[in-house]
């Protein structure tokens, strides 16, 4: 595990996920899709406060990161959140969460002296 931590998790999927989640508008769009379910680009544009081309660009990045899926119906594209898309981030956080938990426990033990 130490070697894994030293060299870091450089998997393309994890990198793509963190890049996709680094933008507040993308996070807001994803959160909205999680809460409300499948939505059209038109509906997402109406609630986002940014232009349709920007919404489409953000959704494209979320799709490349496997955080959403797209479905065409006529001239409209509908997007749905993919809960499983966050699995690499959850796994990464579990590893580092355990590491930090161990460190905090060690610090608490030192506080007793």
| Least confident among 11-15, 58-62, 70-74, 89-93 | 11-15
| 15, 64 Cβ separation under 8 angstroms | no
What are the structure tokens assigned to 91, written together? 């796994």
| Confidence check: pLDDT of 1 > 70 | no
pLDDT score, position 48? 93
pTM: 0.74
Name the residue ranges covered by the structural domains of the chain. Answer: 2-111
| Confidence check: pLDDT of 7 > 90 | no
pLDDT score, position 6? 43
Class of domain 2-111: mainly alpha
| Confidence check: pLDDT of 78 > 90 | yes
Phi, psi of 82 (to 5 degrees): -110, 105
What are the structure tokens assigned to 39, written together? 């939505």
């Amino acid at each position: 595990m130490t070697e894994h931590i030293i060299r870091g998790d450089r998997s393309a999927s994890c990198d793509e996920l963190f890049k996709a989640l680094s933008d507040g508008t993308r996070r807001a769009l994803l959160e909205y899709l999680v809460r409300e379910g499948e939505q059209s680009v038109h509906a997402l544009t109406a609630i986002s406060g940014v232009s349709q081309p920007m919404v489409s660009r953000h959704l494209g990045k979320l799709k490349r990161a496997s955080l959403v899926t797209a479905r065409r119906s006529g001239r409209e594209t509908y997007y749905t959140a993919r809960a499983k898309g966050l699995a690499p981030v959850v796994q990464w956080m579990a590893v580092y969460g355990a590491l930090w938990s161990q460190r905090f426990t060690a610090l608490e033990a030192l506080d007793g002296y």
